[in-house]
Structures are given as C-alpha cells and as structure tokens.
Amino acid sequence: MDFFEKISQLDRRWVYLFLAVVVVIAFLTKFDVPVTITSEVKSIYDRIESLNEGDKILIAFDYDPNALAELHPMSFAILEHCQRRGVKVIGVTLSQYGAGMAENILRTASGTYAEKIDRFRAYNDQMYDKTNDSRYRDKSYKKDWEYGLDYCFLGYKPYPALVILGMGQNFRLYFPQDYYNTPLGELDIMQGVRNYDDIKLAIDVTAGNTADFWLIYGNGRYGVPLALGLTGVMGADYYQYLQSGQIFGLIGGWKGAAEYEELVGRDEGKAKEGMPAQVVAHLTIILFIVLGNLGYFLSDRRKQSTAGQA
Amino acid sequence: MQETFILPFLWLTLGAILTLFTFSFLYKDNPLYKFAEHLVVGVSAGYFVVLLFWTSLKPKLIDTVFYNFSNEWFYILPGILGILMWFRFSRKLAWVSRYPIAVYIGIGSGLAIPLNMQNFVNRQLSATMIPVGFGNWTDFWNIFIVIGVICGVIYFFFSKEHKGAFGAMAKVGIWVLMIGFGASFGFTVMARISLFVNRISFLIEDWLEIVTGSI
C-alpha cells in the first residue's frame, strides 16, 4: 500500500486531530491576514454612512447561542458603526433563544461612557486625518449611547412571519412594551416611529429561516430596504436576492464580519482575530481533498491496469 | 479566592467541561457527549415553554381575556382553537383538533402563497431578464447568469431525454449546480471553523485565563 492509498483510507479522526492542531496553532500565533472588502458588505457600510445623525434603523438579532460565534462579531461591528454615525437602533429578535443574545450584544456594545468617548475620538481623529470629510461629527463626543434614547430592545415574540407583518402596520401591535416592560410611548427613540415607513432600513442578522420571512414580508410586502447578516452555511443561498435587488447588502459568516470590522476599523474584532485560523483550516481541507482524490484516482488506475493484465 | 470570583469561575468551568464533552464525539459516540446533548435539548425545551408562556400566552390571552375582556374579547377565539388542539391526545376526539389545524393552514397558506410566488419566483424571474452583451463587465457577467439559469432549469426538466444539444445544456446545468454546491461547501467549512475557533478562544482566553489566575 503506497502513500496515496494510505491517505485515501486514513481514519477521519486523524484528519480532525490534524485540523484541530493547525487551527489552534494559527489561533495562538495570530499572524495578519489581509481582508479584501467585497461590494455586498461595502454597500451596507455605505448605506449606514449615508444616514444622518438621529436616523433610525431596525436590527433583528435572529439567532440562538449556537450561532453566537459567527454572528456576534458582525452584530458588534454594525452596532459600532451605528454608534459612531449617531444612528439610532431599534433592536428586536424573532428567534426563540435570541433574547439573551440581543440583550447581551446591545448591553456590551453600549459600554461605559469613558470607553465610548475614547472610541469615538479615536475614530473621528482617524477619519478626519484620512478624509477630512465634513460629514463626520465634531471631535468631542456629545453623549453616551443611552438606552431609550439611542437604542432600544423590543424583545421577542413568537411566529416571525406574523410579527414582521404586524410591525409593518404598527410596532405597538406586537410590542406594546419593550423587553423591560416599558411602554414604547415612553421611549424617546420610539417617538414618531409607527411602522417601517419611519425607519431608514432593516438589517436581519440571522441563523435561520427568518431571512426568508424578512424577504417575503418585510421587503416584499412593505418594501423596507433590507440587508442580511448570515451564517456561513446560509451565505451562498442568498446571493441571488442581492442580484435581484431584494436586499441591498449581505454579510456572510466570519469573512463578511471581518470585512465589516475592517471597514469600521474595529481592530479588536473577533472575526478578524479568527481569520488566520480560517485560512489554515481551508488550506488544510484543500490539501486533504487533493490528497484524497489523488489517492482515489491512482488506486483506481492501478486496479484498472491490474484487471487489464489479468 | 474572592466571593465574586467563584460564580463566574464555576459557570466558565461548567462551560469548558461541556465543550470538551461535546468535542469527545469527534473520537466516537460516548456517554459524556450524550449527557451534553441531552442537557442542551432539555434546557432548550424548558426555556422555550417558559418563554412562550410569558411572551405569548400571558400577554396575549390571559391578560386580555381576564383583565380587558370588554375591548379585546375576540382573543378568546384563538384561545379556544388552541385548547381544541389538545384533543389530539384523545383517540376518540382527535378529529376535533382538525378544526384549529384547518384554520392555521388556511391563514398560513393565504399569507404565504401569493407573497412566496411574488418574491421567490416572479422577482427572481425578472432578475434574470437583464441586459447582456460585451459593452461592459456587468453585461458580460450577466451572460453567465442567463445561461446558468436556463441550463440549471433544463437539468431538472425530465419530460425529454437529456440527449444532443438538450443533453449538453443539462450538463452545463450540472456544472452550474456543482459550482453552487462548491460555494456552499466553502461557506460551510468557514462556518464550522468559526464555531471551533470560538470554542478554542473560550477555552484558552476565557477559561484557562481564569483557572491559571486562580492558582
């Protein structure tokens, strides 16, 4: 039995072990991987950049803890961008285990007052140096990202299709109160917000079929400008909606999240941190695919020649 | 060890143990993995029952029917339909549960079918009717979209034998599908590695840090 035959019959557990070792080494060594920005991610960034301070957007955090690893980084990056632009965020979740995810991310992203000031100043300094664009706000940051004023969390309600349709009529239909039982009328951010007409866009960060519901009911029925943040597994299935114009942007898995982190200059982002491991994992899998196929074809050819001789 | 340190330490350690239990499946199926799996299923089911009660049953049915009956009495109708659903557990009266199922399917179909057709079929069809040519890159790449869609659809047309030009187009359709599956596979690898890296990050940066800090 030669090398290629052995490789093609290798116990899968050796593959797992090898993959685990290279991923851990890549994760610990933390080398830099250049992140190329794709147009589908850039279009979301550009759309949020084009918003005015005080504009309101809806973000649906429709994922469970099992997708936290993939979707939290992009949620953080989008929220960071909204904070920097002064865009107000109405958070909601249509995933049954998503309330904890959404609350965790909104609370963490809101951070402390001092942290926010530092981050805003760093960002504004950087952007002023780079672009000298008058759209960027004054260097002295005005206020903290405050609950009820700059962002809110409506909570969870079951049956996503009906909730999306209901919010198209009136947010108060399904969410008379927010997650903390505060009537929406008492939240400053919800003043003048009745339905999708009063928000600039919606972003669905999702690990399930709520993306379809947002496409059909949010965009299809009410015409809300929609972007999707998806897990890697779902990514390839939703590109056709980008081409058809049903969504204006798409962030797919860690690669998409890393691109958004790069765009907002979020150096401590988890997705960018994990890109070296992604690169070596993909290379390892490509290597095993090549070796496995070589082994298969060579042993197949040998069998054919042996049969021909017989 | 400080008091405030103990609780996070215990939770993190529990998370680390369950992570290792789950990874043990990669070697082979075993009782430790089974324990972790059953724990997830049990906790998820329990959490969802409580969540459904507080986010749906209580505010939408109990509160409205018992405290605001005069204004929102009609909420009792879905409540009754919901109760009828429980008749499925009786062999003799299981037929009663067909009424709420019929209402549910009727509403669901009415909502879904027209909008599904519009958004998943019609809009995708119109997105294929695009300018093609060699004038610019967009028009050039549009050629691939049009050819890919036509050949992909032909592959699933089984009323005519896949021979000659028709067969060649079906073969192109297979290649288009394979490229799609390849892209999905690449994305899936990325997804799985993301989950693995996150767990490694948890074990090394969160758990190991707190363990070594405690020694």
- Say how many domains are in chain B: 1
Chain A residues 231-270 with CB within 8 Å of chain B: 231-237, 240, 243-246, 252-255, 270
- Angstrom distance (rounded) from CA B109 to CA B103: 10
For residue A230, what are the β-bridge partners? A206, A252
> Is B155:B170 a contact under the CB 8 Å cutoff?
yes
Contact between A270 and B26 using a beta-carbon 8 Å cutoff:
no
Least Cα separation, residue B157 to chain A (angstroms): 21
- Distance from the first to the final alpha carbon of chain A: 20
What average pLDDT does this structure show over A151-175?
92
- Interface size between A and B, measured as CB pairs under 8 A: 122
Considering Cα of A176, then A179, then A184, then A186, what sign does the dihedral take? positive
Does residue A154 sit in helix, strand or coil? strand
Contact between B52 and A274 using a beta-carbon 8 Å cutoff:
no
Nearest CA to B30 out of A180, B38, A95 is that of B38
For residue A88, what are the β-bridge partners? A56
Q: Is the confidence at residue B89, as pLDDT, over 50?
A: yes
Would residue B93 count as lying in a domain? no
User: Does the ipTM exceed 0.90?
Assistant: no
Would residue B38 count as lying in a domain? no
Would residue B162 count as lying in a domain? yes
For chain A, say whether B116 makes contact (Cβ under 8 Å): yes
Q: Which residues of chain A make contact with B116, given a CB cutoff of 8 A?
A: 216
Chain A residues 192-211 with CB within 8 Å of chain B: none
- Distance from the first to the final alpha carbon of chain B: 9
Does residue A249 sit in helix, strand or coil? strand
Token pair of A73, please? Answer: 């980084």
For chain B, say whether A70 makes contact (Cβ under 8 Å): yes
Cα torsion through B19, B25, B29, B32, rounded to 10:
-20
Residues in contact with A233: Cβ distance below 8 Å, sequence separation at least 6, in sequence order: B184, B187, B188, B191
Per-residue pLDDT tens digits for B108-127: 999 889 999 999 999 999 99
Contact between A233 and B126 using a beta-carbon 8 Å cutoff:
no
Would residue B194 count as lying in a domain? yes
> Is A281:B193 a contact under the CB 8 Å cutoff?
yes
Q: Which residues of chain A make contact with B191, given a CB cutoff of 8 A?
A: 70, 231-233, 253-254
> Is A27:B193 a contact under the CB 8 Å cutoff?
no
Residue B174: domain span: 131-215
Would residue B187 count as lying in a domain? yes
Question: Where does the pLDDT of residue B67 fall: very low under 50, low under 70, confident under 90, or very high at 90 and above?
Answer: confident
Q: Which residues of chain B make contact with A21, given a CB cutoff of 8 A?
A: none
Least Cα separation, residue A97 to chain B (angstroms): 8
Residues in contact with A138: Cβ distance below 8 Å, sequence separation at least 6, in sequence order: A124
Distance from chain centroid for Cα A75:
5
Nearest CA in chain B to A15: B26
Would residue B2 count as lying in a domain? no
Considering Cα of B189, then B191, then B192, then B195, what sign does the dihedral take? positive
Per-residue pLDDT tens digits for A83-125: 888 899 999 999 988 988 898 888 887 765 445 545 555 555 5
Nearest CA to A96 out of A204, A210, A230 is that of A210
Would residue B157 count as lying in a domain? yes
Looking at chain B, the whole-number percentage of residues with pLDDT higher than 70 is 96
Per-residue pLDDT tens digits for B152-187: 999 999 998 989 999 999 999 999 999 999 999 999
Q: Which of B44, B51, B180 sits opposite A236 (nearest CB)?
A: B180
Per-residue pLDDT tens digits for A189-216: 999 999 999 999 999 999 989 999 999 9
Per-residue pLDDT tens digits for A230-274: 999 998 899 999 989 999 999 999 999 999 999 988 777 888 888
Q: How many residues are listed for chain B in this entry?
A: 215
Q: How many residues are listed for chain A in this entry?
A: 310
Would residue B42 count as lying in a domain? no
B18 exposed, middle or buried (CB, 10 Å; 0-12, 13-18, 19+)?
middle
